[in-house]
Amino acid sequence: MSCYISEGLALGCSDGLGSIQTIYILGGSGSTISGITYDADGAITGVTGSGSLYQFQLKRNTSSLTQTVQKNYENGSIYFQQQLSAVWFKYDQIKRNQAKILSQNDQIKIVAVDQNGTQYLLGQENGLFLASGTIGTGTAFADRNGFELVFQGDEKVPANTIVGALATVFSGITVVNY
The tens-digit pLDDT sequence of the chain (178 residues) is 678 888 898 888 888 999 999 999 999 878 999 999 999 999 999 999 999 999 999 999 999 999 999 999 999 999 999 999 999 999 999 999 999 999 999 999 999 999 999 999 999 999 999 999 999 999 999 999 999 999 999 999 999 999 999 999 999 999 999 8
Beta bridge partners of 80: 69, 155
Q: What is the pLDDT of residue 1?
A: 62
Helix (H, G, I), strand (E, B) or coil at 88: strand
SS3 content of the chain, % helix, strand, coil (to 5): 10, 55, 40
The string over 87-104, giving b where at least 16 C-beta atoms fall within 10 Å of a residue's C-beta and e elsewhere, is: bbeebeeebeebbeebee
Rounded to two decimals, the pTM is 0.93
The CA distance from 35 to 57, in Å, is 27
What is the helix (H) or strand (E) element at residue 72, kind and residue range?
Answer: strand 64-72
Closest by CA to 95, choosing from 52, 145, 140, 143, is 145
Q: What's the number of CA atoms in the CB half-sphere (13 Å) around residue 128?
A: 30
